[in-house]
Amino acid sequence: MNKQLWILLIGRILTNFADSLYMIATVWYVKILTDSAFLVGMTSAIAILPVTVQFLYGPIIDRFSKRKILYTAMFGQAFFVGIISIMYFNELLWLPLLFVLMFLALSFSEATYPTESALIEHLASREKLTKVNSLFAFSYQTLDIICDAISGILIIFVGLGVIYLSTSFLLLFAGLMFFFYLKVPKSKKEVEAGTSSYFEQYKKDFVQGFQMVRKQKLLLQILFGVMAINVMATMGLAMLPVISSNSTEYGSWLTSISVGTLIGTLISSKLEKFPLNRVMPSVSLFSGLFWFLSIAFIDRLFIPYVFFSLAWLGIGILGIYIQTLIQVNLPKEYLGIGFAFLSSLLGSLSPIGYFTGGLLGEITSEIVVLLLASTGYIGFAIYFFLHPKLKNQLNTSFGHD
């Protein structure tokens, strides 16, 4: 990888670590304050809500300096997390206020993901895209493992306020690094002479981007299936803090997710020679079965954590394949808005999943919801096997043009 990709990677690692820490702290704060499955699910729903409006960032990402977008997003997120820490230390952190500040912070955070994905495609050669995506995912998920493993201990020994304050400084540092060291070439749209006003240009770019995404018929058919997975998975994820008796146990579940996803991203580059129409449904079925087994054996010491890691191994592979599919199917000049549209599409139903999971957990039980969540991945495998276009047209691999 070149120097600029390394700077982008280090910044992504720092911000991903910070995001994980303050999100775990927030969910656990709501858990201990309310002990309500519904409110825990609502917290996660609000946290994922900014993803649904990510498409609004698209024209800005393609038209303006991606470096400026990144450091502005870091500074904005650091500001709002800093306010949360001040409110917490002064015992003024009213739950609705926490939800608003969390939403604003994560709204800035969401601008970074499509921006970075677009930059990766600009800075890496096409034949190395899968490997670069895997390396990015591997690197920051390694820190995710550390973060998730120690989060419960940190909450107990240093307190929620210290976690909020330290993550604010970490985000500020990442923003300064992008400000001083990140250098990226301007895209074609950035150097075009603007003849329209900003809002007219925004509207034009938005419509063009939407029309371009709408033409990606096969890609959209895959993503519709992924949307269904996301709804079911988020229903189950909303219940993890509810089934945890303490913050360390919650951290163990999150560590299982990180370890599995990390291994999955490592394996994904080894599978790039195999046909997509075999890899994607196979790993999805694998994930669904081991998710189910992890809950079925939930009282068996370390077994549920091992099975849950195996489930997320498959999910990690699937995630890399989805990201690479998007990158190789979108024209370069529309990568920013394309990623923004498709990320919004993928995340559009996730808040409903978290909300529904919390509601069902309140009405039935968290175990029922977690078992139900596993059926999403099994259903996606069936959808893939039965869909004629997906079955017949995706008979190539990323290793071949």
CATH 1.10.10.60 for domain 3-182+197-393:
no
Say which range, 90-104, 221-235, 244-258, 315-329, has the weakest mean pLDDT: 315-329
**Rounded to whole angstroms, what are the CA distances from 176 to 21, 108, 260?**
20, 16, 32
pLDDT band at 255 (very low <50, low <70, confident <90, very high): confident
Phi, psi of 13 (to 5 degrees): -60, -50
In this predicted structure, what is the pLDDT of residue 392? 63
| Number of Cβ within a 10 Å radius of residue 127 | 10
On the question of pLDDT at 123 being above 60, the answer is yes
For residues 174 and 84, what is the distance between their CA atoms, to the nearest angstrom?
A: 19
pLDDT band at 192 (very low <50, low <70, confident <90, very high): low
For residues 95 and 265, what is the distance between their CA atoms, to the nearest angstrom?
A: 36
Residue type, 280: M
For residues 347 and 339, what is the distance between their CA atoms, to the nearest angstrom?
A: 12
- Please answer whether residues 336 and 205 qualify as being in contact, where contact means their C-beta atoms are separated by less than 8 angstroms: no
Tokens of 199: 């809002």
For residues 38 and 359, what is the distance between their CA atoms, to the nearest angstrom?
A: 5
Average pLDDT, the chain: 82
For the ranges 50-54, 280-284, 333-337, 395-399, the one whose mean pLDDT is highest: 280-284
Tokens of 208: 């063009």
Backbone region of residue 194 per phi and psi (left: phi > 0; alpha: psi in -120 to 50; beta: other values): beta
Q: How many helices (H) and strands (E) does the chain have?
A: 19, 0
- Please answer whether residues 370 and 232 qualify as being in contact, where contact means their C-beta atoms are separated by less than 8 angstroms: no
Tokens of 92: 């003024």
CA-wise closest residue to 122 among 56, 59, 62, 181: 62
Q: Exposed, middle or buried by CB within 10 Å (0-12, 13-18, 19+), for 12? A: buried
Q: What is the pLDDT of residues 375-387, one digit of tens each?
A: 989 988 888 778 7
For the chain, give every domain's residue range.
3-182+197-393
**Rounded to whole angstroms, what are the CA distances from 315 to 57, 144, 264, 389?**
27, 16, 7, 22
Mean pLDDT of 295-316: 91
For residues 106 and 216, what is the distance between their CA atoms, to the nearest angstrom?
A: 28
Rounded to two decimals, the pTM is 0.73
On the question of pLDDT at 195 being above 90, the answer is no
pLDDT band at 190 (very low <50, low <70, confident <90, very high): low
In this predicted structure, what is the pLDDT of residue 306? 95
